[in-house]
Amino acid sequence: MTRHTISRREVLAGLGTIGIASAGAGLGTTAFFSDEEAVSADLTAGRVDLLVDYRATYSTWLPQDATDAIVDGPAVPVPDADRTYLVGQSPDLRTAEGGAIAGADWASLTTDVLDACAIGRNSFADVQAQLDAAETGLQVYDGDEPDFLGVAGQPYADGVEPILFSLNDVKPHDEGEATISLHVCDNPAYLYLGAERLVDDENGVVEPEAGDDDSEGELDDFLYVELWHDDDCSNTRETGEDYVFRGSLADLFAAALDRNDDGKGLRLTNDDDLCFQGLSCLGFRWVLPSTPAEFAALPSASANNMAMELVGKYDQFDSIADVDVNLAQTDRLSFGLTFYAEQCRHNMLAAGVQSPLDLSTGTAHAPWRVVDVPGTDATVEGELAVDTLPHPRYASVPGDCAAWIDPYGNGETVSDPVGEYVYEVEFEAPDRASGMYSTLEVKAIGADNSVTLELDGDVLFAYDTYNPIDVVPRYFDVDAGTHTLRARVVNDSGRTPTGNPTALVLCATLY
């Protein structure tokens, strides 16, 4: 099988991109999504297709009749929160009467009913058909309605720049939230988050800002933001959902720059597997605190809390008690959050690595050993000599994988002792560029009877049968250094009349 080393230009050509731009007090706040997709002819694994849906809400202490002065566009009250308004969503899902649906209902529809990757034409009719098939009683707005909140021309953002929401004025204690649902279709992909300032200026100086000679605005220092993995896509953070970032917006910019030398941004994690496939949701919340105590109660990425961060940044503040949000009055700020999806397969080689390391059972690179067998018989322990596929029983397994591996060498019809067999191989993951990982690809696995695959003692996954072989690719990031890949195979009793042999089939490559 041919492997391809990818140049920087080719990697960029294989990106799916989602961008968000947002802004703060004193101006219209806009947020944009875009999706660029192209794959180099050298990327034989196929394209990365990234679609996005989102739901954005805005909460204020003002009643709804005052939102016309704040929200540039429709604001629809949500049924499950007081003085909280839906200011953007795509697809724009509504009740039969045209009202907003609750956040929990949005989560259920996103995770259980709607399948963005199955909507080939990305059409409103396809979304409505899925809603009708599930008998939801809901409708999807298509843009003809006066209070339409979605993407012009299509329900999912895919190659366009729709406005997410727009706010004309933000006051202390106002807050907003957006849940962005990323749909990675076709190939598994790494996901990255980037952040940058687009506009940051004083926008005029009022009396509370007098003495501030800096032409740049201060609002990004005063805005608290948090990002988290919204596991159930509920539009709210729940206990147990992991944070991606917490702190001032200024610190988010700094964090993205610190880890953004290659132009990708902060890598998002997905438990132990850093490759995403299917649906993943990210929550983004912003709030403008008011009092010193409120700032002191919020975490900071660069200090003990946000109040201490502000004391360290501004000469006007000698202590936490001096922190004054009025320093940010009238400031103009717009910022961008960018999401990149980059395919995992054929995109795992770091600079200077000429070829992948084949970890399939019995390769010349890394011979496997049987390190434990049932009972006291240790005669089989040692290196394994194996054949390669194709094997007549496993036509579906890729041809560069190992065949049926018999530790006793007695064929497939002779019964082997019942119990656990442990296969093991050591390998070296090379040093990568700063912030880069090696990637372990497991393309196929099978055993008689069940097998658990471990890396350095941590379980990667388990498979419960030898036939059919599991050929679903899985990807795991690996730090530089020496590692041990171990397969625990349990030979169950009771296979007749052909005997009860034990064996292992494994296809694994380190990139």
| Residue position matching structure tokens 């201490």 | 308
**Close Cβ partners of 141 (under 8 Å, ≥ 6 residues apart):** 92, 93, 94, 148, 149, 150
Distance CA 11, CA 45 (A): 13
Predicted confidence at residue 35, as pLDDT, reads: 33
108 contacts 93 by C-beta, under 8 angstroms: no
In this predicted model, what pLDDT tens digit does every residue of 161-177 receive, in sequence order? 444 555 556 678 888 88
228 contacts 283 by C-beta, under 8 angstroms: yes
Give the architecture-level CATH label for domain 357-510.
Sandwich (2.60)
Distance CA 379, CA 208 (A): 83
Predicted confidence at residue 306, as pLDDT, reads: 93
- Structure-derived torsion over alpha carbons of residues 439, 443, 447, 453, reported in degrees to the nearest 10: 20
In this predicted model, what pLDDT tens digit does every residue of 435-487 receive, in sequence order? 445 778 887 777 767 888 999 999 988 877 655 567 677 778 788 888 999 98
| Residue position matching structure tokens 């566009």 | 73
| Residue position matching structure tokens 């509920």 | 234
Element (H, E) at 105: helix 103-108
Distance CA 241, CA 146 (A): 36
Buried b (16+ CB within 10 A) or exposed e, 461-493: bebeebeebbeebbbbbbeeeebebbbbbbbee
Distance CA 116, CA 55 (A): 15
**Confidence band of 341 (pLDDT split at 50, 70, 90):** confident
Q: Is the pLDDT of residue 203 over 70?
A: no
Give the HSE-up count for residue 205: Cα atoms under 13 Å, Cβ half-sphere. 8
| Residue position matching structure tokens 């001096």 | 322
The two tokens of residue 358 are 């084949």
In this predicted model, what pLDDT tens digit does every residue of 27-44 receive, in sequence order? 333 332 223 322 222 222
Closest CA to 117 of 109, 127, 107, 105: 127
Q: Indicate the SS3 state at residue 304.
A: coil
User: Maximum Cα–Cα distance for the chain, whole Å?
Assistant: 91
**Confidence band of 417 (pLDDT split at 50, 70, 90):** confident
Predicted confidence at residue 366, as pLDDT, reads: 58
Indicate the range of 136-145, 197-206, 226-235, 246-255 predicted with least confidence: 197-206
**Bridge partner residues of 57 (DSSP):** 86, 177
Residue with more model confidence, 2 or 396? 396
Tell me which amino acid residue 389 is: L
Q: Is the pLDDT of residue 60 over 90?
A: no
Buried b (16+ CB within 10 A) or exposed e, 4-21: eebeeebbbbbbbbbbbb
In this predicted model, what pLDDT tens digit does every residue of 109-134 receive, in sequence order? 988 999 988 886 678 999 999 999 99
Q: For 137, which DSSP code?
A: -
272 contacts 150 by C-beta, under 8 angstroms: no
Closest CA to 384 of 424, 417, 444: 424
Tell me which amino acid residue 351 is: A
> Around Cβ 80, how many Cβ atoms within 10 Å?
13
Q: For 109, which DSSP code?
A: I
345 contacts 187 by C-beta, under 8 angstroms: yes
Q: So where are the chain's domains?
A: 8-343, 357-510
| Residue position matching structure tokens 């795509």 | 90
